[in-house]
Chain A
Amino acid sequence: MSRKQVSLVNIFISSFIAFMALFILGPLIWLAVHAFATSWTYPNLLPDGFTFTWWKTIAGDQELVKSVKNSLLISPIVVLISAVVCLPAAYAFSRYQFFGRKSFLIGMFAANAFPKIGLYASIATLYYTLNLMGTIVGVIIIQLLGTIIFMTWIPAAAFGSVPRNLEDAARDAGASKLRTFWDITFRLALPGILVAMVMSFLASFDEAQGTYLVGVPTIYTMPTKMYALVLNYPVQIAAVFSLLLAIPSVLLISIARKHIIGGQLADGFQIK
């Protein structure tokens, strides 16, 4: 490429990045500013004034605080249960050949392709029979469903990519099968498992439709509360609540970002 072409490409790339920054970050920043705005006059690009009143309002609203607590309680439980249920399966998928293995994998995918909303009528029926309506257990199960794909596929790929000779070397060094699993296999698959946990946490933390159907009016989580807020409160309250809702996600990015970009997530989505 000539020098002129290079600089043209650079100009194009730079303006594309500017566009993407506006496209991706614009809405988030616009919303974040609302959380501190007294009021806003159209078409000004800045609010009329800044305030922390909206934060105090939320801190004082018992129901909103309760929904925060619910979310922070339920999501970790969901991730934990999901890990217990799915991680052994992930290991099995990566290391054993068994009857129905491929059907299991494809079945999991198919289950994910059915719009969840279409299930809720039947799930509601099932829940009435099992007495799960309006219970924490009911909400946990609903949220668990959205995490299974992440918690099975991503760790399965991670276990699968641990070289067998590293395990052999540990056995040769005198480690039992179990010890080898903990010291080598699990340890090396940990980034993948971490990514799976982050994705599962976010899936659970964000789940709104199912939780709404099963939990409301007894159990509100942050996202289900958000639906109500958007319709019934000033924009600023919803903005504050959005920021609160985004905190766990932002924290988790910093932990797992490297591994997610590193391909752990992508590896999980190929059937092997």
Chain B
Amino acid sequence: MSNSTGSGGLELQGLKKILGGRVIIDDLNLTVNKGEMVSLLGPSGCGKTTTLRMIAGFLIPDAGRVVLAGNDVTNTGPEKRPSAMVFQNYALWPHMSVYKNVAYPLKLRKMNKSEITKRVHNVLELVNLMHHKDSRPSQISGGEQQRVALARALVQEPDVLLLDEPLSNLDAKLRVKVREDIRDLQRRLGITTVIVTHDQDEALSISDRIAVMNGGRIEQFSSPQELYDRPATEYVANFIGSLNHLTGDYSNGRVTVGTKTIGIRPEDVHFTSTNESNGFEATVDHVVPRGHFSEVYLKREDAELRAFMSTNIPAVGEKGYAVIKKALIYENGKLLKVE
């Protein structure tokens, strides 16, 4: 990933927003490169939606700048920004047909009729909705509504596409499919995209980079792999994936008495019947089958560890050895080292 300044992309510089007398966003910096897809990930209330609304222009920051495609748009209204947004519950206008919903932004730009028709048809074909162009939003399914909302945003050929929890109203199966579709479209069109989500799976699978937010700040901004392998803070480590917590010191696969926090991914815990490499004795307490893998709870007198195993699942009560392959060691919430 290049670290060039996002010329042509999106830059947030020192954003601050106070609402109702409280600081919602504090000194937020973010650079999204042109053509990149970035997720703002965090629990509800972390300020991710507020950030998105500042990018779109619905909220004016109290301090800082928003730079879109090289232009400072900090104080520009949403109608004049080269950004287009897909709203959480789609916000399709119920009194307009699918065609009219999509054509509306172009009509506002005073484009001529044949050009509008051409572009609307193109984008409806892109999202596979030509057969529904005369339907009302209420007559089509949630997934289709989602695609109309996407089409309405894409037809504007925006410099930045903003997606606010785009998948949260879809059922689990559809979510995976639409997620792939969005990613595919985004790559093909090479459009700079910011997506707000609280779902780590969604963020991990769709984004080039992820900004994990907490309390109005960005905790970590890096690629999905980096985020998973080297979570910069304890907060991020907890938020992304599963984690075993131990307190102590760690060296060579052994946990000793200490004050640091040790995070161990369940898939980095192995359970063997013979002690091959520096493991410690443990008993299988219970096993929760999770489909393609099993969650194995290992117990020692002073600690419990979870392990994800897909082969050779031990039986409950079996004694053996837990081996830690990798551990994340934190001191005062910050990553100290990965072993």
**A165 touching B109, Cβ below 8 Å:** no
Q: Does A176 contact B (CB under 8 A)?
A: yes
B window 76-122: CB within 8 A of A? 77-80, 83-85, 87-89, 91-95, 104-105, 108-109
Q: Is A173 an interface residue, CB under 8 A from the partner?
A: yes
With both chains docked as a complex, state the minimum distance between the C-beta of A188 and any C-beta of chain B, in angstroms. 6
Distance in angstroms between the alpha carbons of A231 and B278 in the assembled complex: 111
| Of the residues B78, B93, B108, contact of A179 by C-beta under 8 Å | B108
Given known A165-B91, A188-B94, contact A173–B105 (CB-CB < 8 A):
yes
Q: Which of B77, B88, B93 contacts A166 (CB under 8 A)?
A: B93
Taking the closest CB of chain A, its distance from the CB of B123, in whole angstroms, is: 13
Chain B residues positioned under 8 Å from A175 (CB to CB): 79, 104, 108
- Tell me if B95 and A171 are in contact (CB < 8 A): no
Query: Which A residues between 189 and 230 are near B, CB-CB below 8 angstroms?
Result: none
A170 in contact with B56 (CB, 8 Å): no
Chain B CB within 10 A, most for which of A168, A171, A174, A188: A174
Given A184-B93, A188-B95, answer yes or no on A172-B108 (Cβ-Cβ < 8 Å).
no
Does chain A have a CB within 8 A of B293? no
Name which of B80, B85, B87, B91 has the most chain A CB atoms within 10 A of its CB.
B91
Q: List A contacts of B104 (CB < 8 A).
A: 170, 173, 175, 183
Q: A165-B87, A179-B108 are in contact. Are A171 and B93 (CB under 8 A)?
A: no
Q: How far is the CA of A179 from the CA of B78 in the complex (A)?
A: 13
Contact B109 A170 (CB under 8 A): no
Q: Nearest residue in A to B82 (C-beta to C-beta)?
A: A174
Nearest-neighbour CB distance to chain B for A15, whole angstroms, equals 39
- Given the complex, which residues of B lie within 8 Å of A176, measured CB to CB? 79
Contact of A168 among B78, B83, B95 (CB under 8 A): B78
Interface of chain B: mostly helix, strand, loop or mixed? loop
Asked if A258 is at the interface of the complex by the 8 Å CB criterion, the answer is no
Whole-angstrom distance between the Cβ of B23 and the nearest chain A Cβ: 23
Please report the total number of A residues contacting B with Cβ < 8 Å.
17
The answer on a CB contact under 8 Å between A168 and B105 is: no
A172 touches B95 (CB 8 A): no
Chain B interface residue count, CB cutoff 8 Å, equals 24
* CB of B156 closer than 8 Å to a CB of A: yes
**How close is A181's CB to chain B, nearest CB, in angstroms?**
13
Write the nearest CB–CB distance from A189 to chain B, whole angstroms. Answer: 11
Residue of B nearest to A171 (CB): B78
Interface on chain A toward B: helix, strand, loop, or mixed SS?
A: helix
> A136 to B264, alpha carbons, bound, how many Å?
86
With both chains docked as a complex, state the minimum distance between the C-beta of B9 and any C-beta of chain A, in angstroms: 19
Interfacial residues of chain A within 152-176, with CB under 8 A of chain B in the complex = 163, 165-166, 168-176
Q: Please, which residues of chain B bring their CB within 8 A of the CB of A184?
A: 93
State whether A173 touches B152 (Cβ < 8 A).
yes
Distance in angstroms from B252 CB to nearest chain A CB is 55
- Alpha-carbon distance between A168 and B58 when the two chains are bound, in angstroms: 8
The answer to whether B83 touches A171 (Cβ under 8 A) is no
For B20-57 the 0/1 string (1 means CB < 8 A from A) is 00000000000000000000000000000000000011
Contacts of A171 in B (CB 8 A): 57-58, 77-79
Q: How far is the CB of A162 from chain B (nearest CB, A)?
A: 10
- The answer on a CB contact under 8 Å between A174 and B109 is yes
CB-based contact B105/A174 at 8 Å: yes
Q: Which residue of A lies closest to B88 (CB)?
A: A165
Given A174-B79, A175-B79, A176-B79, A169 and B91 contact (CB-CB distance below 8 Å): yes
With both chains docked as a complex, state the minimum distance between the C-beta of B64 and any C-beta of chain A, in angstroms.
21
Task: Answer yes or no: A95 CB below 8 A from chain B CBs.
Answer: no
Least distance between B117 CB and chain A CB atoms (Å): 17
Q: Mark contacts of B172-204 with chain A using CB atoms, 8 A cut-off: 1 yes-contact digit, 0 otherwise.
A: 000000000000000000000000000000000
How many angstroms between the C-alpha atoms of A179 and B108 in the bound complex? Answer: 9
CA distance A68 to B62 in the complex (A): 62
B77 surroundings in chain A (CB, below 8 A): 171
| Complex CA–CA separation, A165 to B53 (angstroms) | 11
Question: How distant is the Cα of A173 from the Cα of B152 in the complex, in angstroms?
Answer: 8
Residues of A near B92 (CB, < 8 A) are 169
CB-defined contacts of B78 to chain A, threshold 8 Å: 168, 171-172
Q: What is the minimal beta-carbon distance from B81 to any residue of chain A, in angstroms? A: 8
Q: Quote the shortest CB–CB distance from A60 to chain B (angstroms).
A: 48
Which A-B residue pairs are the 10 nearest by beta carbons?
A: A173-B105, A169-B91, A165-B91, A174-B108, A171-B78, A174-B79, A172-B85, A172-B78, A165-B87, A171-B79
**Could you list 5 further interchain pairs (A-B, Cβ under 8 angstroms) beyond the known A169-B85, A173-B104, A188-B93?**
A166-B93, A168-B91, A171-B57, A175-B79, A175-B108
Q: Can you give 24 contacting A-B residue pairs, CB < 8 Å?
A: A163-B91, A165-B87, A166-B91, A168-B58, A168-B78, A168-B85, A168-B87, A168-B91, A169-B92, A170-B104, A171-B57, A171-B77, A171-B78, A172-B56, A172-B57, A172-B79, A173-B79, A173-B84, A173-B105, A173-B156, A174-B109, A174-B156, A184-B93, A188-B94
Interface residues, chain A, CB within 8 Å of chain B? 163, 165-166, 168-176, 179, 183-184, 187-188
